[in-house]
Chain A
Amino acid sequence: MSKVGIYINEGSLIVPIQTDLRNDALEQLQKDILKTVRETRLRGVIIDLSGVSLLDTYQAKKIFAIGKMTGLMGTVTVFTGLSAGIVVSLTDLDFDSSEVLTSINLEEGSKLLKSMKGTTARTDEGS
Chain B
Amino acid sequence: MPEGKNRATRIDIEQESSIYKASEAARKIASKLGFDNIKQCKIATAVSELATNIHRYAGSGFILIRIIDIGSRQGVEIIAEDIGPGIADLKSALMDNFSTSAGSLGIGLPGTQRMMDEFEIESKTGKGTLVKIREWL
Contact = CB atoms under 8 A, between A and B. Distances in A.
B107 A93 contact: yes
Contacts of A23: 16
> Chain B interface mostly helix, strand, loop or mixed?
helix
B23 interface: yes
B42 A92 contact: yes
Interface in A79-127: 83-86, 88-89, 92-95
Nearest to B106: A57
Contact of A53 (B17, B38, B41, B108): B41
A64 to B, nearest CB: 11
Contacts of A47: none
Query: B20, B96, B104, B105: which has the most chain A beta carbons within 10 Å?
Result: B105
A57 B115 contact: no
Nearest to B23: A54
Contacts of A57: 49, 105, 107-108, 111
Nearest to A86: B41
Contacts of B96: 94
A58 interface: yes
Interface of A: 20, 22-23, 53-59, 61, 83-86, 88-89, 92-95
